[in-house]
Structure 1
Amino acid sequence: MNVHFIAIGGAAMHNLAIALHNKGYQVTGSDDTIFNPSKSRLETKGLLPESFGWFPEKISSSLDAIVLGMHAKADNPELLKAQELGLKIYSYPEFLYEQSKNKTRVVIGGSHGKTTITSMILHVMHYHDRDVDYMVGAQLEGFDVMVKLTEDNDFIVLEGDEYLSSPIDRRPKFHLYKPNIALLSGIAWDHINVFPTYDNYVEQFKIFVDSIVNGGSITYNAEDAEVARVVEASENTIRKLPYNTPEYTVEHGETLLETPEGPLPIEIFGKHNLNNLAGAKWICQHMGIDEDDFYEAIATFKGASKRLEKIAESKTSVAYKDFAHSPSKVSATTQAVKAQYEDKTLIACLELHTYSSLNAEFLKEYKGALDAADVAVVFYSPDAVEIKKLDAVSHEQIAHAFERNDLIIYTNPEEFKTFLFSQDFNNKALLLMSSGNYGGLDFDAVKGLLR
């Protein structure tokens, strides 16, 4: 099969391109710019475009399919040429469905936790040498790629993102997978540039539950009231299987999971991650892994990249970075680190980086999100606000939104860096939460602070 990628450099797109190349497909692609790690990974496979830009001459009737990435625009010259020729144009999730329509599709959805749960499932499968196809949104230890597609594997595990499918397909990605086995971890309003009201956002999850094939199942977090409402109200003919956070204790900075065989030390921590673990366990059991085998494997799971990832540790201090940016994620992550290291002073630094987090109207959703921190810091770049064409956000608006009088706020990257590097990290826990990099923060240099 001859497939061309328009906007091949995206995190998801380049992984799908590599997966198809590994499967033996003829793969080409274009993009106006490509950054690492996508650039070097495409180059290694011989898939990096010779020149950056859009080249309609690359589009011909010899192509079997076009895969269109979100980075492209609706007036993209290559897309227009493909439409003119009447070629089959797929969004990323559409193409994944085409590749998996004869498999058992396991789809993990939710506003938060879906990457971690998907990663847990894949870790357990890998530990027990169960080969499955997959798509996950983070790099995993022991896995070379974030997308794997084969002809032979029975199962495919898909992280079900609620964001849009492509510039010409405004449906959320997870509406297109038609799961046989699904999980819903949580619902907390996000992506307000696409879903302007809370009700509109929740509606997408109702559609997801109703998209599960007849006779399929939904495993759902019963502790999330909105999730429970959505699942239990669905009239889809599916099995509905609730899960709850398992019993656990924290002793001397170590989390012990209660199991039928007694307390089990595990690498991950935080109530939200133990809740994720419960969901992953049920899905693995649906896929043929018994409970004892699940516990044996999950004890060695260290987490997905940038999801509560330990970046440094000394005799008295520890530092984590996390992708957390939405209010619910920030709150859960901050609480988790404080509970794990309750005898240490927690310095929690949050960068407001996404469209939603920089929106003045949405800011109020962050009320109390940093309450668990002993020292709470918020960084945002006025340039990012301007680039996203949003109204300016003031210090006062942020301070009012978080409802914390001692909140420290920075808008200058150098001033934030000076603050960070001037701290005494003796008996401290540092938590850096962002989907960005604080205006150019060197995380390797941060590691040196905890010697």
Structure 2
Amino acid sequence: MLPEAQGWYPEKIHEGLDAIILGMHARADNPELLKARELNLKIYSYPEFLYEQTKNKTRVVIGGSHGKTTITSMIMHVLKENHIKFDYMVGAQVEGFETMTDLTDDSTLAVFEGDEYLSSPDDPRPKFHLYHPHIAVLSGVAWDHINVFPTFDIYVEQFREFARRIEPGGQLFYYSGDPVLQEIAKEMNHITTEGYTEHPSVTEDQVTYLISGSREIRLKVFGNHNLQNISAAKKVCNSLGISDDRFYASIKSFSGAARRLELLSENSTTSVFRDFAHSPSKLLATTLAVKQQYPGRKLVACMELHTFSSLKKEFLPHYQGSMEDADIAFVYFNPQTVQHKKLEPITPEMVYEGFDKSGLIVTSDSDALFRELASMDWENTNLLLMSSGTFDGKDLPEIARKITGDPVVFKRGDWIKNPQAGL
């Protein structure tokens, strides 16, 4: 069925197919889509197909403007560690899982990351409106995707509708530090709602430990946002019958989803991280996490403007204060990306004014940016590279190794203050 090379092959679309799954980024004139319509084949959006395959299962859906990939990954990790069968869909590669989607005939549980973006060119509903979960999480609301949700109120309404679509008698766990989610939770009378906050913790020698009674559980992840994510994952896992002891025994080996505070390379005085952060709330949380974990080190943070929202000049002021925890901050954008997205051109001056950070360096030359980074003194200094893109195809792991002197790469959490700590 799959073609030997990339491209569109309408001749492979025939009457013998049961259905077509239409992705969000296919254009209306896609030749394979046109052929499917001509043959009157059943056309599913991706989320619609996922629901159809799991409509007789218990569905867990993780929504929110940030953290949903990590929370979903944490739940998947704990379920696997406890030998529980489940279907899943997640937006990043997760260690221990070969694929980002798996649907089976013999499981009774499905765990989905719930994206608020639109389902397909034929279906303008947000993806997470189609899942009708029994157990749901909302991690926070911070305006994004302004190309399809032009006002904050319209954006918020998508999360309210998601909560309305939770199955009667279901559960909603929400971050109680978000006033928008507090209001949404109060409005939901058909389900039970419960808030969560950061899990209690302590950080010593650049390693974070969860506190549970008299126990300390060593983690491989860090940051206040990840402590919130752990609380959300624990609520869901408890609801699925996993005890606190089993949860803690499992979560301590969770190393993170791909491109989420991913450690690229490290020596005794420098750590280089890559993160998917691109929205203001994600930049703020990620830079704060690294700064708090390494309070004695300088932090150099580089961010690429790559998404539709981030490259729209009207949205740039929302980035104000988002990189305040960086000692040195760079913002990069590619004018060709702006042009490709058919947006009005932006200038370095617009970006500088939007971020409103003293000393911010804005550039549209990625080669110059990485030459500057290569020339810096990295003694007692960390580097954080944040983008939903690739900084124009740069080999970030190789760049990280050059900055750190190509040492043996340590894995987060390899330092244990007490071999008997934890479970």
TM over 0.5: yes
**Uncovered stretches (5+) of structure 2, i.e. residues with no partner:** 406-423
- Cα deviation, residue 147, structure 1: 0.8
**Uncovered stretches (5+) of structure 1, i.e. residues with no partner:** 1-27, 29-46
In the alignment, is the contact (CA less than 8 A) between 1:125 and 1:131 conserved in 2?
A: yes
Q: Deviations over 1:102-160 (max 9, x none)?
A: 10000000000000000000111111211211111111111111111111111100000
1:72 aligns with 2:26: yes
Residue type of the partner of 2:75? Answer: I
Relative contact order, CA 8 A, sep 6+: which one is greater? Answer: 2
- Give the Cα separation in 1 of the matches to 2:23 and 2:62: 21
- Give the Cα separation in 2 of the matches to 1:246 and 1:72: 41
Which residue matches 1:117? 71
Which residue matches 2:103? 149
1:341 corresponds, among 277, 294, 297, to 294
Instruction: State the aligned residue count.
Output: 404
- Cα deviation, residue 425, structure 1: 1.1
Q: Deviations over 1:313-350 (max 9, x none)?
A: 10111010000000000000000000000100100111
1:305 aligns with 2:263: no
Equivalent positions of 1:306-321 (< 5 A) are 306-321=259-274
2:233 corresponds, among 266, 272, 280, to 280
Which residue matches 1:424? 377
2:305 corresponds, among 336, 346, 352, to 352
Equivalent positions of 1:201-350 (< 5 A) are 201-235=155-189, 237-350=190-303
Q: TM-score, normalised by structure 1?
A: 0.88
SS at match of 1:331: helix
- Cα deviation, residue 405, structure 1: 2.1
SS at match of 1:347: strand
1:164 aligns with 2:118: yes
- Give the Cα separation in 2 of the matches to 1:314 and 1:102: 50
Q: Deviations over 1:334-392 (max 9, x none)?
A: 00000000100100111111110010000011010000011111111111111111111
2:58 corresponds, among 101, 104, 109, to 104
Which residue matches 1:38? none
Which residue matches 1:42? none
In the alignment, is the contact (CA less than 8 A) between 1:308 and 1:322 conserved in 2?
A: yes
- Give the Cα separation in 2 of the matches to 1:426 and 1:320: 16
- Cα deviation, residue 84, structure 1: 2.5
1:191 aligns with 2:145: yes
Hey, which bits of structure 1, 4+ residues long, moved more than 3 A?
A: none
Which residue matches 2:11? 57
- Give the Cα separation in 1 of the matches to 2:326 and 2:178: 23
1:176 aligns with 2:130: yes
- Give the Cα separation in 1 of the matches to 2:86 and 2:304: 36
1:363 aligns with 2:329: no
- Give the Cα separation in 2 of the matches to 1:310 and 1:96: 32
- Cα deviation, residue 170, structure 1: 0.7
- Cα deviation, residue 51, structure 1: 4.1
Residue type of the partner of 1:181? Answer: I
- Cα deviation, residue 248, structure 1: 1.4
- Give the Cα separation in 2 of the matches to 1:52 and 1:245: 45
Cα RMSD (Å) of the superposition? 1.1
- Give the Cα separation in 1 of the matches to 2:352 and 2:9: 48
- Cα deviation, residue 417, structure 1: 1.3
2:347 corresponds, among 391, 394, 405, to 394
SS at match of 1:249: strand
- Give the Cα separation in 2 of the matches to 1:100 and 1:434: 33
In the alignment, is the contact (CA less than 8 A) between 1:417 and 1:441 conserved in 2?
A: no
